[in-house]
Amino acid sequence: MEAPPAPSAEEWALAGTYKLKNSKRYRYNWGQQVRSMMGTAIEGPDQGVVRFRVEIAPDGTLVSLTTLWATSEVAEKLAREAIAKMPPLPPTPTGQPLIFEQTISFQPFADGGPPNYQDDCLPDPPVYRNRFAWDGKSAQTQADAPKRQKIDPQAMAECLKQLPPDTVESVSAHNQRQMDQWRSKRLGH
């Protein structure tokens, strides 16, 4: 499979202003830029996937790059070479360091796709914690159930103006990720 095209200057400009969900557009464009510079993936022992922990300074320079895991030494080597040759990146959208994990797929078939932005304005769901857990030492009490944040209608309207329109590719990629995650092996679906 040939490498996907690198993000255009217009796409980077949009990514440089998208602050929602830990600068989701910027992270996606960074991954696309790396994959586009890795070249054509051919089926065989060199194909694979590599996951990095990335830290980018507010000015867009790479601060650190740590390999979390890799299924192919060749894929990791190609990804690191591509990252070393990356063109200068725009400043991060928030003006703060951007820290994230990114999986780069060097395989002869499509993996992933553009992100879906439709739920980016919704608050994150509350973190689940077992309210009935007891450490064995303190007094036994039941914690309150976590509550969802209330959405301010005006802030929601402002946020919705920032969202890019969904594309057929992003919706299709989102649906495929859901199918891969929730597919039942027992039902054969």
- The pLDDT tens digits of the residues spanning 102-151 come to 999 998 886 677 888 888 888 888 777 777 777 788 877 766 766 777 78
Phi, psi of 68 (to 5 degrees): -85, -45
Q: Which residues pair with 157 in a beta bridge?
A: none
39 secondary structure, DSSP code: -
Tell me the pLDDT tens digit for each residue of 41-90.
888 888 999 999 999 999 999 999 999 999 999 999 999 999 999 999 99
Q: Which fold has domain 1-111?
A: 3.30.1150
**Closest C-alpha to 96, from 67, 127, 57, 142:** 57
The average confidence (pLDDT) of the chain is 86
Q: Indicate where the chain has its CATH 3.30.1150.10 domain(s).
A: 1-111
Q: Which residues contact 109 (CB under 8 A, 6 or more apart)?
A: 1
